[in-house]
Structure 1
Amino acid sequence: MDISLLSSLNGIHYDEGNLDFLRPSPLHFNCGVQILCTCGTCILSTGAQQFHLQERSELIFWGGSIMQLMEASDNFHVRLLLYPKKVFLQAAVSLDTTYFNYMREFPQYDHGAESWKNVSLWIDMAQLLFTRPASAFSERLELNFLQSMLMWIFSAIPDTYVSATESYTRKQLLFHKFMHLIHEHAAQMHQVSFYAEQLCISPRYLNEITWLHSDGKTPKELIDEQLTAELKVLLNNPALSIAEIASLCHFPDSSYLSRFFKKNTGLSPKEFRAQKQR
């Protein structure tokens, strides 16, 4: 796959394969991404969070995401759709945001036989429409396809997705919301107090939640894991100096960033860049 598409996508793009391009280092999808696992298993990391995909798993990030392939079976294979943000915004404007909010917090769904058959038909249609040269009708086809598919997905949510949360405890729901918040804000917001305030709970209660649902990790550890992944993506861009990255990520200066990065990776930012160039 041409990874330049991740930052300069002009239209809906269909692809398939084993996601090997995500193995070396995390990459930023500056677009919507929909992944259907058709065979095998894998672990995909978005920074502080990992998703275990198997056959019939679907993973959707409408607003883009950082992703890295951590592990995969030899037979791992996916079908992939990328959506330009402008197309997604046009398609979503008339739809209920309740469902978008839900899917942002619960981006993975493991299909049963019937729903897998149906979602595969939508991907078949996407393959038919978006693997041919652009035409005068391409923009209208993209908008109509995405809006129709979203309406189909959301019509299924009350019965298949949202009902699954009825058995979740308050702590589980808060944990999912916390993970969504650090996915969106960790590059700039590094303090636990910010996330506790967003969730209307105390930092101590947030610590209790993360300890319970992330194998004993603290909120700060999860924030730092996400921030480290964000820094790796930025360091992969040679056009950005370390000082510029420090400013983008709200570090006091480049030396502070370097100390943070070495503490969490064992490498300085310069060493990380040199390793990538080998």
Structure 2
Amino acid sequence: METAPLSSPPKVQYEESNLSFLLASPLYFDCGIQIICVWGEGILSTGAQQFHLHETTELIFWRGSIMQLIEASADFRVRMLLYPSRLFLQAAVSLDTTYFDYMKEFPLFDHGKTGSLQSWKNVNLWMDMGQMLFSQPSSAFTEQLELNFLQSMFLWIFSSIPETYVSVARSYTRKQLLFHRFMHLIHEHAAQEHQVAFYAEKLCITPRYLNEITASAVNGKTPKDFIDEQLTAEIKVQLNNPDLSIAEIAANCQFPDSSYLSRFFKKHTGISPKEFRGKRPQAVQKTPKRFE
């Protein structure tokens, strides 16, 4: 599977995959992604956050997501649709941004936990329709089909969000809700904003309270730990681009110079940026013990 067109497709693209191309290194997706796991189990990372995919789970990311497959069972399989950024903007212009904000904060949905698998059957029907419409060569009507499909699917998804939101709001504590919002913020800003105070201000809380939130969500983990994990993933993605020098990456990620970036990267990965570029890890998929 060619990853370059996959990460930034010119039109809606349907794929079936085991995502093994994401094992070696994180990949930046300049597009919207909708993934449903139809077999097996896998752990997908966006940098500071990890998502456990298994049958009946659905994951939706907006434009600008980093993804890496940490591990997966040998039978892991997904179906996915990738949407060009321009299409997302067109489809979203007439829809309530409240729903988009909700889905950004809660990108993973487990259809098996709803008490009924009808929604899982329905989302597979949407995938079937996407496969039928977008696995064929483009025609004069492709752009209109893409827009109509995405708008209709959004409306179908959003029709269930108010009830879902109420149940989430009732089951999550304030700290848990703030943690999800913090995760969303670092996905957006970690490449440029490295200080805890920035995120605390965005959440209208103190850095000390943010530290309490992350500690309660993941025992012993600080807000800076999450920020640095996301920043490390961002650097890895840029290092995979041979056209960018270390100095340019340092500037992109708001480091004073390349030596600062190198020290940061080696501290968090054990190797220098140059060594990372020279290393080509083999994307060998295996069944972790936890999935056996």
User: TM-score with structure 1 length normalisation?
Assistant: 0.98
Match of 2:277 among 268, 273, 278: 273
Q: Please give the secondary structure, in 2, of the residue aligned with 1:35.
A: strand
1:214: how far off? 1.6
8 A Cα contact 2:7 2:27, kept in partner: no
| Runs of 5+ unmatched residues, structure 1 | none
One-letter amino acid matched to 1:66: I
In the alignment, which residue of structure 1 is the partner of 2:152?
148
8 A Cα contact 1:6 1:30, kept in partner: no
1:261 equivalent to 2:265? Answer: yes
1:276: how far off? 2.6
Cα distance in 2 for partners of 1:260, 1:215 equals: 23
Cα distance in 2 for partners of 1:209, 1:236 equals: 33
Matched pairs, number: 278
Write out aligned runs for 1:78-157 (5 A).
Answer: 78-112=78-112, 113-157=117-161
1:244 equivalent to 2:248? Answer: yes
1:277: how far off? 8.3
Match of 1:235 among 232, 239, 242: 239
1:198 equivalent to 2:221? Answer: no
1:162: how far off? 4.3
Mark the CA change 1:8 to 1:172 in structure 2 (over 3 Å): closer, same or farther.
closer
In the alignment, which residue of structure 2 is the partner of 1:171?
175
1:7: how far off? 4.2
One-letter amino acid matched to 2:219: D
One-letter amino acid matched to 2:228: D
Question: In the TM superposition, what whole-angstrom CA distance separates every residue of 1:151-183 from its partner, at most 9, and x where no partner exists?
Answer: 000001122344223221110000000000001
8 A Cα contact 1:9 1:31, kept in partner: yes
Question: In the TM superposition, what whole-angstrom CA distance separates every residue of 1:63-108 from its partner, at most 9, and x where no partner exists?
Answer: 2310000110111100011000000110010001001000000000
Q: Which has the higher contact order (CA 8 A, sep 6+)?
A: 2
Query: Percent same amino acid at aligned positions?
Result: 71
Mark the CA change 1:141 to 1:238 in structure 2 (over 3 Å): closer, same or farther.
same
Q: Please give the secondary structure, in 2, of the residue aligned with 1:87.
A: helix
One-letter amino acid matched to 1:13: Q
8 A Cα contact 1:34 1:60, kept in partner: yes
8 A Cα contact 1:33 1:62, kept in partner: yes
RMSD of Structure 2 on Structure 1 (CA): 1.2
8 A Cα contact 1:6 1:28, kept in partner: no
Cα distance in 2 for partners of 1:160, 1:177 equals: 17
In the alignment, which residue of structure 2 is the partner of 1:188?
192
One-letter amino acid matched to 2:184: H
In the alignment, which residue of structure 2 is the partner of 1:69?
69
In the alignment, which residue of structure 1 is the partner of 2:10?
10
In the alignment, which residue of structure 2 is the partner of 1:41?
41
1:254: how far off? 0.3
| Runs of 5+ unmatched residues, structure 2 | 283-292
8 A Cα contact 2:24 2:281, kept in partner: no
Cα distance in 1 for partners of 2:169, 2:23 equals: 32
User: TM-score with structure 2 length normalisation?
Assistant: 0.93
Q: Please give the secondary structure, in 2, of the residue aligned with 1:182.
A: helix
Q: Please give the secondary structure, in 2, of the residue aligned with 1:276.
A: coil
